[in-house]
Structure 1
Amino acid sequence: MNTTDFTYILQHPQSITATQISDVKSIINEFPYFQSARAIYLKGLKNKESFKYNQELKTTAAYTTDRSILFDFITSKEFLQNEISQHIKHNTEHLKAIEVSDIEDISVNKSVIIDDALRQQIKDTEPILDPALFEAKVEAITPEDVIDIDVSNIQKTPEETLEIGKPLTFNKNEVHSFSEWLKITSFKLIIREDEETKVESSPKNDQEKKFELIDKFIASKAKIQPIKKDVPTYNIAKAQMIQPEALMTETLARIYVEQKNYSKAIQSYKVLSLKYPEKSGFFADQIQAVKELQEQNNI
């Protein structure tokens, strides 16, 4: 991949191909802190619905200093928009823009002039155009050959029902879900440091810093003022408390499933069922699938 190709997919990330995804991965391996390359690689995996997407999102978060920018990127319209839907939208708008002027009558009532030679030729070919000559041989089907298939018994596996392995999709309102997902992953923020100038703090240095802070506090003659009785008190924790159902989303429930935290996943779907009663049947199926996974893994 040359500079021109890379610049083009930076400007048109929805057009990235499978070959270019591999090329961008090679660039990332050589330059792991190249944020633009990681962004394009994420977009490519998302377009292909790759099972590698969720893991790569964790890695990208670890290499990102400001994760709010990463969240804005993966929830942007350009990132969520698929290349196919872009083509459909473009073609639809193109068809709507076509002006229809003259309408041609294509009815079959127009008279067709057939000369005698053509009429005779049609008559001569009628015997060999007999449809009966081309009928397929029909074999008798006995009752023993009939297999009854009960469609209702064909069920998806728990993995298919829960869409395990598919890319997690966040929207702008799921900041809490995204933060919770990053919290439960094992990746930590990666900070570049110069090994030569890296100084490890010793317990002795930390202890000295604590004493210096205490000395400064005493030297400034600072005093802790008692709370006045006539000043009203507020329960800040209670005022800022957010109800759990307000933070619960389907994405967060999927995150718990991906992390094999089945108890939390079941509880999440129960909360969602109460929050969205019109989808209670769907959430009931999700809960049943989680329970099956729980039994399979003996958790």
Structure 2
Amino acid sequence: MNAKDFQLYLEQPQLLYALPLAELQGLAMEYPYSSNLRLLLLLKTHLEGHPEEQDYLNRCAAASFDRAFIYDLLQDARLFAWQEEAREETEVLELRTLDEIALEDAALLAGIDEDEELPAPAALSYQSIFPEPDVLFEEEPEPEPKPDLPVTEPAEVTPPPFSMPAQWVDAAADFISVLPVWPVDPLTEPSAPEEFAPEPVSSFSEGKRPDHGHSFKDRLRRIRRRQSEKLADEQEEVRKIARRSLVAQEDVASETLARLLVQQGQYQHAIKMYRRLELLYPDKKTIFAGLIKDLQEKL
């Protein structure tokens, strides 16, 4: 088998019917890495309806890089197999002579005449097909009417006449009059409500306003005063804390702290700070001396 045979089998899958499956299996065992042999084995099993067709399909798909080609090839093979089955099932028309057709017509007419001579079967009745049962249940005897109880017709019920509202009121009054009167306990008897004395109209005149003790302006003024006092106390507390933080440690000396003391107006503490700086930095003694002189003039 060469490359031309492979191409021929792929183009005409019906040729695989003449190729035995054992031969293809032997070639596949001899060349286990040949994807073409796996493809031919798949086509062979597909055309013959082999029970291991799914296994051959899995092996062929694992060894192939183009599974779409395998799908198209199987569709073409399935179409070819369907065409072969349709060709086998096609009826073949037989050409018959006129004498044979005439003999068949005569035999058919003779059969119809024999059917007409046969007596028609009697029509079956419903009772013959479905006979009535003997006794399904015993009929109960009808009860005899009792002579002692005369039969009376029901009396006609007449609707009550239409009542007017006045009649309803009278009926309610009569019902209340017959109700028992229970004695009232003096301990639980509700006390009489106090007489309500309305305010004089003069109190609502436009010229007179009710006196509530203090006017709205006075209350607003007191609220603002409290807020300002509270704010002043908070600012003073902040100043005290800042002042204590600056003078708490006398050993601390720096030019930044000295300038901050000058900005806050604490000239005495600033002078002390510059004098400590003179001792710490003798090379800047003249500068600190000039600053001390300026601060002393501000005192």
Structure 1 and Structure 2 fold alike (TM over 0.5): no
Larger RCO (alpha carbons 8 Å, 6+ apart): 1
TM-score by length of 2: 0.28
Question: Which structure is larger by alpha-carbon Rg, 1 or 2?
Answer: 2
